[in-house]
């Protein structure tokens, strides 16, 4: 029989994140996420602090991009959410599995400062959705566990997902079992599509006609494990190799590697 505990929601959610297999989180602590971030650190989830919200989110995206695992960033509400919009939009365009956990204003209209205006007031749901993120919002402590699991599952499909945690929901105490069954694990292989026969035939015809072939590879080729195949193709047809910025160093070992395409490359490659 599962042991039942009375805990604050932020403690339970931190343990749920760990139970998904997550051992690394990035973030910039705010007053509305401090307890949650501290709970993660206390149970052994490594918290990498950033100096700006954009940095925290792009660190999570970089982690997800290179490892294939779920990248999690924790940032605050209001101005902190606005500060991180550039990183959030960038992450949403990369198709990396990223979950951004934001602090949020209390539910049910409760105000943090009853003596004056809420200077952090910000319609995060509307803004984040307009930026292309799928948004989940916890409205109760008990429901927050399911909301977290749904957000994790959505992110692992290759999306950047926002999870809003209102401050009063985080602080609410409730009785819970000490174990849950996660919907997914934190590791998810990158989806890899096989080339169609038509695409292969078209590529073959192009290679037959070209006189000075140049192979350009990016993160998609890296995720597909195509490095060795492209090396062999390069040797076969006598082509040079170059990558996108996100495919950097993919052909570092190859003497015909020109580095990164465009202005990031060296003078010889640009010529």
- From CA 43, how far away is CA 213, in angstroms rounded? 54
Residues 172/141, Cβ–Cβ less than 8 Å? yes
- From CA 270, how far away is CA 224, in angstroms rounded? 27
The torsion defined by the Cα of 90, 93, 97 and 101, in degrees rounded to 10, comes to 40
- From CA 137, how far away is CA 21, in angstroms rounded? 22
- From CA 41, how far away is CA 39, in angstroms rounded? 5
> What's residue 203's pLDDT?
86
Residues 148/163, Cβ–Cβ less than 8 Å? yes
- From CA 243, how far away is CA 217, in angstroms rounded? 5
pLDDT tens-digit series, residues 196-239:
889 889 988 988 888 888 999 988 888 788 899 999 999 999 99
Residues 171/8, Cβ–Cβ less than 8 Å? yes
> What's residue 261's pLDDT?
86
The pair of three-digit structure tokens given for residue 145, joined into one six-digit string: 């566990």
> What's residue 130's pLDDT?
93
- From CA 153, how far away is CA 151, in angstroms rounded? 5
Q: Which helix (H) or strand (E) holds 89?
A: helix 85-94
Question: pLDDT under 50 in the chain at which residues?
Answer: 182, 186, 188
- From CA 72, how far away is CA 28, in angstroms rounded? 12
Cα 166 to Cα 9, 56, 109, 149, 180: the distances in Å are 11, 20, 11, 17, 22
148, with CB counted inside 10 A (0-12, 13-18, 19+), is buried
Residues 6+ apart with CB under 8 A from 227: 217, 221, 250, 251
Cα four-point dihedral sign 123, 8, 49, 147: negative
> What's residue 174's pLDDT?
81
Structural domains present in the chain: 4-177 (3.40.50.970), 197-270 (3.40.50.1220)
58, with CB counted inside 10 A (0-12, 13-18, 19+), is buried
């Amino acid at each position: 029989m599962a042991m039942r505990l009375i805990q604050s929601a932020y403690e339970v959610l931190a343990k749920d994140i760990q139970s998904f297999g997550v051992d690394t989180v990035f973030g910039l602590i705010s007053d509305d996420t401090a307890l949650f971030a501290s709970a993660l650190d206390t149970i052994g989830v490594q918290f990498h602090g950033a100096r700006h919200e954009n940095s925290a989110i792009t660190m999570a995206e970089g982690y997800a991009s290179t490892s294939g695992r779920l990248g999690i960033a924790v940032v605050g509400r209001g101005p902190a959410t606005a500060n991180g919009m550039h990183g959030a939009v960038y992450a949403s365009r990369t198709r990396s599995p990223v979950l951004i956990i934001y602090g949020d204003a209390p539910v049910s209209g409760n105000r943090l400062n009853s003596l004056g205006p809420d200077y952090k007031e910000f319609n995060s749901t509307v803004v984040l959705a307009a930026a292309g993120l799928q948004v989940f919002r916890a409205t109760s402590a008990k429901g927050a566990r399911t909301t977290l699991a749904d957000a994790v599952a959505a992110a692992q499909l290759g999306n950047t997902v926002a999870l809003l945690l209102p401050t009063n929901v985080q602080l609410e105490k409730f009785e819970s079992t000490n174990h849950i069954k996660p919907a997914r694990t934190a590791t998810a292989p990158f989806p890899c599509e096989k080339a169609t026969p038509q695409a292969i035939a078209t590529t073959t015809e192009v290679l037959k006609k070209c006189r000075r072939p140049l192979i350009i590879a990016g993160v998609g080729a890296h995720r597909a494990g195509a490095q060795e195949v492209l090396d062999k193709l390069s040797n076969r047809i006598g082509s040079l190799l170059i990558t996108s910025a996100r495919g950097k160093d993919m052909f570092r070992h190859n003497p015909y590697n020109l580095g990164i395409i465009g202005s990031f490359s060296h003078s010889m490659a640009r010529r």
